[in-house]
């Protein structure tokens, strides 16, 4: 009954932790492609190939359902994977839709026409590849009208977090928020469109101001996953063991993950 959670690096651990708390009975297999991180500066074909390779590895571990807890992969590869690569007995889901449903106050599966929503000015903070894909704006347009989205590509933030340099990460976040505010001085809401960014959520909130609603993905994705598994119990895979896999150096990745999660985590070679 294992479920796979994939990220290019360590950011997806924020989703994993929320999912473990929401679904304690489900064993999760986490795959971090740390050798090839970050994905945000890669082209779409490269992201597609790396993501497919990782997902295949999690299928081998008995995960019939895999969550792409990587906004870059969700933006640049997911639709192509679903349309041309994922077999009928498997599922690969992304992290954009639960976030947009929360922003637009929709229930899962509400496919009614797009409508006016309360939030009109939205700041999107994401990797360069996610911003370039415009996947967030495309998904939002299916559900809402009249929403102005200003996107800010946050170069360097993922690298700093992966290296454990949170001082640099904070400085970069504040710089990117300043750049966003020059384009959209008064956003009503902000989307943290990378699963690394919840690790810096308090910095984003402080830089944006207390009156800006900050939407982070981890808990929203966990709740959406619980709902999905309730409606599709057959997608609980055959895997029975919690595992942490990495394409990088297992010792180094384990140390970083332990630092982020404040609990011991041991990765093995994928």
DSSP 211-267: TSEEE-SHHHHHHHHHHHHHH-GGGS-S--S-EEEESS-HHHHHHHHHHHHTS----
CB 69 within 8 A of CB 19: no
Mean pLDDT, the chain, whole residue set: 93
Query: Which pLDDT score is estimated for 105?
Result: 85
**Options 52, 63, 70, 154, the catalytic residue:** 70
Q: Which domain holds residue 168?
A: 97-215
CB 179 within 8 A of CB 125: no
Mean pLDDT of 242-249: 97
β-bridge mates for residue 152, sequence order: 125
Same domain, 111 and 204: yes
CATH number at residue 149: 3.40.50.1860
* pLDDT, greater one: 162 or 179: 179
Same domain, 44 and 129: no
Same domain, 209 and 160: yes
Residues 6+ apart with CB under 8 A from 231: none
CA distance 39 to 164: 18
Residue 11 has, within 13 A of its CA and on its CB side, a CA count of: 32
Annotated catalytic, 63?
Answer: no
Domain count, the chain: 2
Same domain, 165 and 254: no
Query: Which pLDDT score is estimated for 96?
Result: 85
Annotated catalytic, 194?
Answer: yes
Residues 6+ apart with CB under 8 A from 91: 64, 65, 66, 232, 235
The confidence band for 77, taking pLDDT boundaries of 50, 70 and 90, is very high
């Amino acid at each position: 009954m294992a479920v796979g959670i994939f990220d290019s690096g360590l950011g997806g651990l924020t989703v994993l932790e929320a999912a473990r708390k929401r679904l304690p009975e489900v064993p999760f297999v986490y795959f971090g492609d740390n050798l090839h991180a970050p994905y945000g500066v890669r082209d779409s074909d490269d992201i597609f190939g790396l993501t497919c390779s990782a997902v295949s590895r999690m299928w081998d571990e008995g995960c019939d359902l895999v969550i792409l807890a990587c906004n870059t992969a969700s933006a640049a590869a997911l639709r192509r994977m679903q349309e041309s690569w994922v077999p009928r007995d498997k599922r690969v889901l992304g992290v954009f839709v639960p976030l947009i449903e929360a922003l637009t106050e929709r229930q899962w599966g509400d496919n009614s026409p797009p409508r006016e929503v309360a939030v009109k000015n939205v700041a999107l903070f994401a990797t360069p590849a996610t911003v370039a894909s415009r996947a967030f704006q495309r998904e939002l347009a299916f559900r809402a009208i009249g929403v102005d989205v200003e996107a800010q590509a946050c170069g360097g933030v993922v690298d700093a977090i992966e290296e454990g340099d949170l001082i640099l990460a904070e400085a970069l976040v504040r710089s990117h928020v300043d750049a966003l505010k020059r384009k959209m001085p008064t956003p009503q809401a902000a989307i943290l469109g990378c699963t690394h960014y919840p690790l810096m959520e308090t910095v984003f909130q402080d830089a944006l101001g207390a009156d800006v609603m900050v939407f982070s993905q981890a808990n929203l994705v966990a709740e959406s996953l619980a709902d999905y598994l309730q409606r599709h119990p057959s997608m609980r895979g055959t895997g029975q063991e919690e595992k942490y896999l990495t394409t990088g150096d297992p010792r180094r990745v384990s140390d970083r993950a332990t630092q982020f999660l404040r609990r011991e985590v041991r990765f093995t070679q994928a």
